[in-house]
Amino acid sequence: MPGATTSEFAQVANMQGSAIFEGPTPVMTAAEVARQGYAALKAGRPQIITGLVNRIIAMSTRFTPTAILLMIAGHINRPGSGKT
């Protein structure tokens, strides 16, 4: 599962400037997502989580209360939340 990916999605979804696209975590290109996904497919891996930050986030959701996850998700997806 990739995190934020450079594409026209942010503009279409009116999410330019949101922390998920403009924050401190790296944003992968669509080509890199495709390359890693194809490599995983060839290796017989049913799923992958790209990048250390994405792995940490994915693992932390198992132990974080839902109310906190919703608050964080709301913040990072809010337009303008990535601006300092």
Taking only the tens place, the pLDDT of each residue in 39-72 is 999 999 998 888 787 888 888 889 999 999 899 8
Judge whether 44 lies within some domain: yes
Judge whether 56 lies within some domain: yes
Average pLDDT, rounded, for the chain? 83
Judge whether 65 lies within some domain: yes
Judge whether 83 lies within some domain: no
Q: Residues of the chain with pLDDT > 90: what percent? A: 21
- Distance CA(15)–CA(13), nearest Å, equals 5
Judge whether 33 lies within some domain: yes
Judge whether 54 lies within some domain: yes
Strands (E), 12-69: 28-29
- CA max distance for the chain: 42
Judge whether 27 lies within some domain: yes
**Which structural domain, as residue segments, surrounds residue 67?**
5-77
Q: How many domains does the chain have?
A: 1
Judge whether 82 lies within some domain: no
pLDDT given for residue 74 in this prediction: 86
